[in-house]
Amino acid sequence: MKIKNLILSIILMFALAAQSGCAWFQRGPDPLEDTPQELAQAGVDAMEQERYKKAIEHFSDLRDRFPFSPHTPRAEIALGDAYMKSGNYVAAITVFTEFAEMNPRHEMIPYVLFRTGLAYYNKFTSIDRPQRNMQQALEYFRRVVQVYPETEYAEYSRYYKKQCRIKMAEHELYIADFYWRTKRYGSAYERYRYVEQNFEDLPKIVEYARERAKTSYFKHQEHASRHKRATDEGSWRDWLDWL
């Protein structure tokens, strides 16, 4: 199941809750204005219509005005999703993290942890920038896989774990290749070796790094020998000139 379908399924669960014996957002025939129930349903409707700013308003209003409502925990999760869909990943991370801290035993914790990791993952901008967000995302995906291995979110997390690892390795290769292009072969060798030793789960990348590491090492040795020879020759010339 793709991530988009996953989110749609969560929204659908909200929308169909009135038909369930364990309703999340139960909607009566004539809900009172601005009740938790009405705000929750208004938020779900806005999400279905892709009006994420409105959804954020409704879910935030519910959370802030009715903190002890049975609808509030689900609304907080939906609020994080609304922020995600609007592209505000920092706000989504804040909402999901606070929810996990306040509701560690909630049945939707695997989903919340996965979405937190995905929010960090989506903050990726460029391979040439530090990959701290990828490291954060990787930690959340690992947690889902380790603690909730039987959930569907563990399956998604396994996929994104690999994607995080690829981006982190590619970042290291980007730097190594830069050193290579600028003929700083000693530094390039160290970076290629780091990839070779720390990304064994990515065989194609490791193979590339290994070959580059070998060539970088020989080029570094060649440059070092040439430099030493030039230095030695310069010393002899200076000595002969002195004579």
Residues 163-218 have pLDDT tens digits of 999 999 999 999 999 999 999 999 999 999 999 999 999 999 999 999 999 999 99
Number of CB atoms found within 10 A of residue 129's CB: 11
Is the model's pLDDT at 225 over the cut of 70? no
pLDDT of 129-176, one tens digit each? Answer: 999 999 999 999 999 999 999 999 999 999 999 999 999 999 999 999
Q: Is the pLDDT of residue 128 over 60?
A: yes
SS (HEC) of 15-67: HCHHHCCCCCCCCCCCCCCCCHHHHHHHHHHHHHCCCHHHHHHHHHHHHHHCC
Threshold 0.85, pTM exceeds: no
Instruction: Please report, in angstroms and rounded to a whole number, the separation of the first and last CA atoms in the chain.
Output: 83
Q: Give 131 or 30, the one with higher predicted confidence.
A: 131
Q: Where are the domains of the chain?
A: 1-86
Q: Summarize pLDDT for 17-28 with one digit per residue, the tens.
A: 433 434 444 444
Find, among 29, 26, 8, the residue nearest to 16 by Cα.
26
